[in-house]
Structure 1
Amino acid sequence: MTLLALGLVVCGSVLHALWNILAKRGASGPLFVWTYSAVSCALYTPLVVWAVSTTPVAWTLAAVGAVVLSGFLHLGYSLALQGGYRRADLSVVYPVARGAGPSLSVAGAVLLLGEPFTPPIAVGAALVVGGVFLVGFSGRTPGKPFWPGVMWGGLTGLFIAAYTLNDGHAVKALAVPPLLVDYFGNLVRLTALTPLALRRRRELAAEFKVSGRAALGVGVIAPIPYILSLYAMTLAPLSLIAPARELSMMVGVLFGRLMLKERASPGRFAGAGLILAGVVVLALG
């Protein structure tokens, strides 16, 4: 993995953990997803207009299909993540999702996209996934049901793997710029939720009063780490980038402690160490 690709992943990991903290605070379901999606679309439209006017894109049927599919996969991911955050601790849902996602992504990259499966990838991915799950199982709240978080986290991980493979194919094989993959995918998600938002517009106004700041924060920050990871996928194999993104769990351990006042057990720090070791193996491989 090149230093540039690794740098993009590291920056994205910090921002990814930050917007998930905000999403946990504002977790309330589809209306929250609609609100932050609307913020992202409004904020990034001028940049997308500039990008489209300066960078010609071959909008083939395959490229359009990949972007539309990305939108629906990210919609499923967003709703599953919100469902998990409403029912369980972030310290369970987040690591299970981030552990399941890259492991399935690596398998898909090797089996479906034909990427090589080298010993460093195998060892590095195993360390990252193992560390993520160790953080999750060590960070759960005693006496609180654990399996709802595991199930919702696992469902979220399935969507992570699916959109990672789809979007990685879009930027690498179909040459769709990462910014456009993220933006138009977000636009599809916003469009799909707009009828619901219109039917429940009174609830939407009340929702914004309660979690408007969190939605604004997520809308501004959330696109950035994923765009950075998509650019990294153009510089290195997807099977390296997908697990390396789980550096966000290390940041999540720190943010969870400082911002959500979650306990920091020895197991969580051990898991963070495994994640760091795995990313080092991937970077050197």
Structure 2
Amino acid sequence: MSFLALTLIVISAFMHATWNYLAKRSEGGYAFVWLYMMITLVVFAPFVIGLLIFRNVQIGWLELGFMLGSALIHLAYSLLLQKGYKVGDFSLVYPVCRGTGPLIVTIAAVFIYDEKLTTTGVIGIALITGSIFVITGGMEAIRKANTFIPLLYGMLIGVMIASYTLLDKGAVSVAMMSPLMLIYGSIVAQAIILSLFVFRSFEDVRHEWRHHKKEAIGVGILNQFAYVLVLTAMTFTPVSYVAPVREMSILIGTIMGTRMLSEGFGPRRIVAAGTMVAGVIAVAVQ
């Protein structure tokens, strides 16, 4: 992996952990997701206009198909993430979903994009899997109802992460789409779909704006900017490298959850998150 790709991904990881922390502080739901998406559309509109003016951007049926597919998966991911943060600790749901996603991506990329997985990569996957088990508290935690449900949400969110990562990798590296155009088109589609639900109770949007304005603005900016950096790295780096390394955000997110949100089991989860980081690094250097 090149130094440029690594730099982009590390910066993205800090942004990603920060916006997830902000999302946890909100009340979540359709209203908050729609609100931060509208902020994204406004903030990134000048960049998209500039791209259309100064670059020869092609938008055909293939590109529209990628945008719609990405939108549907990202929308499912966003809503599941908000629900997961409602039913479970940030420092539990976040590491599980961010650890499960790259695990699936790394294996799937071998078959979809013909990427190679070495012995070092297999060791990394084992470290990731073991860390997820430790973070969730092992079999004792699984038997507890208040942990089992958040665990399931974390794993399902991880499946969504893997799905949009693999699809978007094809869009930017095979179809050669602009990362910014892919993301913006996806957000437009998501906002339209969500509007069908939000407008039935627009008072929820007003409530979120009054009480979680800063969080919505923060998520609206950092969420997509972080992903633009990741997609840019994907244009010249194998996805089986990018997906694991961006999970450096796991350690950052776990520390935020245990220290800033006063969530329990801090030391154990932080140690396990560190092991997970070691695992994703092993996968990245394969």
What is the TM-score of this pair, normalised by structure 1? Answer: 0.92
**What SS does structure 1 have at the residue aligned with 2:272?**
helix
**What SS does structure 2 have at the residue aligned with 1:245?**
helix
**Change in CA separation of 1:43 and 1:129 when aligned onto 2, cut-off 3 Å:** farther
Quote how far apart the aligned CAs of 1:121 are: 2.7
Quote how far apart the aligned CAs of 1:136 are: 4.1
**Change in CA separation of 1:54 and 1:131 when aligned onto 2, cut-off 3 Å:** farther
- What does residue 12 of structure 2 align with? 12
- Counterpart of 2:185 in structure 1: which amino acid? F
Q: Is the 8 A contact 2:96 2:158 kept in 1?
A: yes
Quote how far apart the aligned CAs of 1:132 are: 4.5
Report the more deviating stretch, 260-269 or 23-32. Answer: 260-269
- Counterpart of 1:31 in structure 2: which amino acid? A
Distance 1:22 1:245 in 2: 19
Distance 2:18 2:259 in 1: 12
Quote how far apart the aligned CAs of 1:176 are: 0.6
Q: Which runs of 5 or more residues in structure 1 are unaligned?
A: none
- What does residue 146 of structure 1 align with? 147
**What SS does structure 1 have at the residue aligned with 2:146?**
coil
Q: Is the 8 A contact 1:96 1:157 kept in 2?
A: yes
**What SS does structure 2 have at the residue aligned with 1:4?**
helix
- What does residue 32 of structure 1 align with? 32
- What does residue 225 of structure 1 align with? 226
Quote how far apart the aligned CAs of 1:145 are: 0.4
- What does residue 155 of structure 1 align with? 156
- What does residue 53 of structure 1 align with? 53
- Listed one character per residue, the Cα deviations across residues 77-133 of structure 1 (whole Å, up to 9, x for unaligned) are 000001111111112211111122111111221122222222233233433443345
Distance 2:251 2:189 in 1: 31
Quote how far apart the aligned CAs of 1:237 are: 0.7
- What does residue 195 of structure 1 align with? 196
Quote how far apart the aligned CAs of 1:166 are: 0.4
Quote how far apart the aligned CAs of 1:165 are: 0.5
- Listed one character per residue, the Cα deviations across residues 148-200 of structure 1 (whole Å, up to 9, x for unaligned) are 10111122111111100000110000011111111111111111111222221
Q: Which runs of 5 or more residues in structure 2 are unaligned?
A: none
Q: Is the 8 A contact 1:253 1:264 kept in 2?
A: no
- What does residue 235 of structure 2 align with? 234
Distance 1:282 1:106 in 2: 8
**What SS does structure 2 have at the residue aligned with 1:116?**
coil
Aligned residues: 283
Distance 2:257 2:145 in 1: 17
- What does residue 270 of structure 2 align with? 269
- Counterpart of 1:220 in structure 2: which amino acid? I
What is the TM-score of this pair, normalised by structure 2? Answer: 0.91
Report the more deviating stretch, 19-28 or 259-268. Answer: 259-268
**What SS does structure 2 have at the residue aligned with 1:236?**
coil
- Counterpart of 1:71 in structure 2: which amino acid? A
- What does residue 248 of structure 1 align with? 249
- Counterpart of 2:62 in structure 1: which amino acid? A
**Change in CA separation of 1:118 and 1:100 when aligned onto 2, cut-off 3 Å:** same
